[in-house]
Amino acid sequence: GISRLKRVMLIGDHHQLPPVVKNRAFQKYGHLDQSLYARFVRLRTPTTDLNLQGRARPDIADLYSWRYKDLGNLANVLTESRYRNANAGLTYDYQFIDVEDFDGKGETQPTPYFYQNLGEAEYCVALFMYMRLMGYPASKISILSTYNGQKALIRDVVRQRCAWNPLFGEPNKITTVDRFQGQQNDFIIVSLVRTNHIGHLRDVRRLIVTMSRARFGLYVFGRFSIFENCFELTPVFSRFAKRPRQLSLELNEKLGTERKAGTAASPTVARDLHHMWALVQDKMKSQFQEAAKAVAAGGETAGAGPALVPG
């Protein structure tokens, strides 16, 4: 039959990750790591650039807007209260948390190229549990890592710490940055894993994907000194450097706070992982005590909760 096709419209983002080609010869000499979309852009096929974003808070969008020409914000992210109000219990809407060696170890490789970092995994899960205690729905929180080994480790920590407890449950997703491309969530917790070398985060496209998954809160755990001097990453890490590199919490807040984004109330700094776990345990104890009082007032008894201090 006669084709009636008159126009083909492609919508995409060539600033994000390309196809994965495991054969380096095909990748290098066949250019199979270049998508058809990227090829059209390279050959200067006429394009229309979208120059307004309506996904994320403007502060979070600043982490990746430099990569897109004249990228601005739609009216909704400037006027709606959910974008203008702060994240309850968290001083900042985005923050890089510097993680030192945990029990004398940073990145490890149980098997070649299977990178893991126990300190970062524990820290990510501790923040998830803290956010659940604050009342954030588990479905609105995802934990991402830049390596498969760390993804597996975080899943193990979640199973051990909180998956069995309905008070916490599991995050919406625990996966790699590459697998999460094209998806988003309200709150993203990221583990960068590496403490000896930058690794494949040097690819700016992977960095852009990492920074652009969150709508309301982005909390990145890593070794700042490894990434701050990498020229390719400077536009992002220069912004991270303007904020404290210890997790800043607002312990007395409740979900639905009217505090405005970019302001602080009475911040408490988590000095390190052990301090963070202590804060989480204190928060849980206080909630159990409040629940016990409410139950006692109703003539019933309350049970005790599990301990959260890391072993």
Mark whether 111 and 124 lie in a shared domain: yes
Q: What are the pLDDT digits (tens) for 52-62?
A: 999 999 999 99
DSSP letter, residue 67: T
Say what the pLDDT of residue 311 is: 41
Q: What are the pLDDT digits (tens) for 5-45?
A: 988 888 888 888 877 788 878 877 877 888 888 889 899 98
Residue pair 82/260 in contact (Cβ under 8 Å)? The answer is: no
Mark whether 2 and 56 lie in a shared domain: no
- Please state, in angstroms and rounded to a whole number, the distance separating the CA atoms of residues 139 and 210: 19
Mark whether 43 and 74 lie in a shared domain: no
Q: What is the DSSP string of 216-248?
A: EEEEEEE-HHHHTT-GGGHHHHHHHTTS-SS-E
Q: Answer whether residue 215 shows pLDDT above 60.
A: yes
Domain range for 7 is 1-48
**Is 232 a member of any domain?**
yes
Backbone angles phi, psi at 76, to 5 degrees: -65, -35
Mark whether 3 and 60 lie in a shared domain: no
Say what the pLDDT of residue 138 is: 97
Domain count, the chain: 2
Q: Answer whether residue 195 shows pLDDT above 60.
A: yes
**Is 119 a member of any domain?**
yes
Q: How many CB atoms lie within 10 A of CB 211?
A: 26
Mark whether 29 and 76 lie in a shared domain: no
Please give the sequence-ordered ranges of beta strands (E in DSSP) within 80-194, or none if there are none.
94-98, 141-145, 173-176, 185-191
110 pLDDT band (50/70/90 cuts)? very high
- Token pair in block for residue 68: 């897109």
**Is 309 a member of any domain?**
no
Say what the pLDDT of residue 306 is: 47
Residue pair 67/204 in contact (Cβ under 8 Å)? The answer is: yes
Q: Which CATH number characterizes residue 243's domain?
A: 3.40.50.300
Mark whether 178 and 197 lie in a shared domain: yes
**Is 225 a member of any domain?**
yes
Q: Which domain-ending residue is among 29, 48, 67? A: 48
Mark whether 74 and 35 lie in a shared domain: no
Return all residues near 172 (Cβ < 8 A) that are at least 6 apart: 138, 139, 140, 141, 142, 185
Say what the pLDDT of residue 300 is: 53
Say what the pLDDT of residue 36 is: 87
Q: What are the pLDDT digits (tens) for 240-285?
A: 999 999 999 999 998 999 999 999 999 999 999 999 999 999 999 9
Q: Answer whether residue 305 shows pLDDT above 60.
A: no
Q: What are the pLDDT digits (tens) for 143-176?
A: 999 999 999 999 999 999 999 999 999 999 999 9
**Is 160 a member of any domain?**
yes
**Is 151 a member of any domain?**
yes
Residue pair 274/310 in contact (Cβ under 8 Å)? The answer is: yes
Mark whether 161 and 222 lie in a shared domain: yes
**Is 2 a member of any domain?**
yes
pTM of the model: 0.90
**How many Cα atoms within 13 Å fall on the side-chain side of residue 153?**
24
Mark whether 76 and 3 lie in a shared domain: no
Say what the pLDDT of residue 78 is: 95
**Is 206 a member of any domain?**
yes
Q: Answer whether residue 4 shows pLDDT above 90.
A: no
Instruction: Select from 97, 93, 63 the least CA-distant residue to 204.
Output: 63
Q: Answer whether residue 136 shows pLDDT above 80.
A: yes
Residue pair 190/219 in contact (Cβ under 8 Å)? The answer is: yes
Mark whether 56 and 31 lie in a shared domain: no
Mark whether 177 and 228 lie in a shared domain: yes
Mark whether 34 and 128 lie in a shared domain: no
